[in-house]
Structure 1
């Protein structure tokens, strides 16, 4: 199986590669269109600020490629947020894969939300064998509100979508690669998905 992690300069790459290795697979880091298109599975990571990350995608043309991919694609953290319509962070226009806008938590809560929180209302093969209310590791100040494409929910001041799915595109606000055995099980489920 060919697994490609999109390399555009805004990823938490190393921990994802290690997690995939622990599952018995190798991942390739690439920004090459042909290599990404030829992959069986694509992981779209992201850590940092939305507008600068989006600029890096645009500069490499990956903003055009990613929405056209036909194989299973997993966006993680900022990667998931960039797959949405737009983000309040830097007033950023996203890839428009998920039909939801990313907004900031209010000043009533500590931001970023950093640490472990529960996921529930699980609705996808991504969560095969995962119990409701398992804890995942999150670090974020912006979130996707609950919407039709939500496949997991988390509560931090309010309920929001901590995972999204549309067709072959999946996104998790939490970091499966930093969420212990349960997170690795979610990554394993992603690698088992059929096109």
Structure 2
């Protein structure tokens, strides 16, 4: 599965899109399904990839750049030019593994904050690609985690909402200038 959207994996001085930060209401609004995959969606995906690479990210969801559409871009190996990014339009997780794992996560919308989050180790996700074709993907480990993290953004959920260690969460947010009140715990 290769992306047809070619983007140089480089850091741009002026990335095309602006990333919103924790506390911005735009991050808490649910994204809308994309009815038609066309050139405007492909252009948005391209600009999201450019913005993600410019910010040293491995995933980015449209709500993070203020666009309420169900679109995420993922590249778990941004330093490998041969590794193609994945563009997921209207993604839906159809299966979660029973096995959970705890891994430290960060987020381009919460710079400097890295905390442990428990998630399923493997998932199956169905989505449309940048041509609008239906696809299915089995993902494990880092890829599964990044997809789940970015899909949370489509529902207005941030990774800090899933952090169980309240003390570490409060300390890390305050140290990096974010308000603990911006967290909305997920049960």
Is the pair's TM-score, using the shorter chain for normalization, greater than 0.5? no
Q: TM-score, normalised by structure 1?
A: 0.34
Q: TM-score, normalised by structure 2?
A: 0.34
Which structure is richer in relative contact order (CA contacts within 8 A, separation 6 or more)? 2
Q: Which has the higher strand share?
A: 1
